[in-house]
Each structure stands twice: as C-alpha cells, then as structure tokens.
Amino acid sequence: MSGERKSRPEKLGAALSAFLSRRGLDARLEPMRVVEEWPRAVGPRIAAVTRAVTIDKEGTLVVEVRTHAWMQELSLLEPELLVAVRAAPGGDRVSRLKWRFGR
C-alpha cells in the first residue's frame, strides 16, 4: 500500500472553502457571509428577535423581525446597526437594511 496518501483529515469547512475557491465561487458567495455574521454583528439581544434572510444585488440586507414593536425599535437603531453590519465579514457590500415582519 505504498501509493496511499498519508495526510491528516481536513475539516469540512476548510475543504468546502478550498473547493469553492478553486471553482471561483467564493467571490459570488461572499456577500451572503454577512447573513451568517448577523447575530455576531448585532449582538444577542437583537439576534434573538431577528434573522438576516438575504442580501440583494443592490446591497440591501433583508432582515426578518419577530414583532412590530421590535421593527419600530430597529428602525430607530438602523444607523448604528448599519455601521456594525458593515464592519462584519462580508458587510462591506451592505448599503441599507430592510425590515420585514416574520418568524
């Protein structure tokens, strides 16, 4: 069995990232990274009542909000939230936030 590879197993996330990069798909998926970073960007209190859904081609990050009261609160906090989101990985493409009732 001298032809066998003797390398350590690679973590799935690292293998997937390498695969996407080799295929040139990582750049196309980068804007979606901000969706998964949403909870870390906005903190646990806001993350508990919201869920980032998608980002469109114009850079609008669509976020579902659990209640109308929270939607109003988040509208008032939008300038600060936009700064936090833009600082997150993939957030540099976010131009605005769009709130929608959901969950």
pLDDT exceeds 60 at position 1: no
How much is the average pLDDT of 81-98? 95
Domains of the chain: 30-101 (3.30.300.20)
pLDDT exceeds 60 at position 30: yes
Res 28: pLDDT? 62
pLDDT exceeds 80 at position 87: yes
Res 23: pLDDT? 75
Query: pLDDT tens, 31-84?
Result: 678 999 999 999 999 999 999 999 998 999 999 999 999 999 999 999 999 999
Helices (H), strands (E): how many in the chain? 5, 3
Q: CA-CA distance, 2 to 61, in Å (whole number)?
A: 52
Bridge partners of residue 60, in order along the sequence = 96
Residue bearing tokens 């690292």? 14
How much is the average pLDDT of 14-39? 76
3, 12 Cβ separation under 8 angstroms: no
How much is the average pLDDT of 17-41? 78
pLDDT exceeds 90 at position 10: no
With b meaning 16 or more CB within 10 Å and e meaning fewer, what string describes 45-63?
ebeebbbbeebeeeeebbb
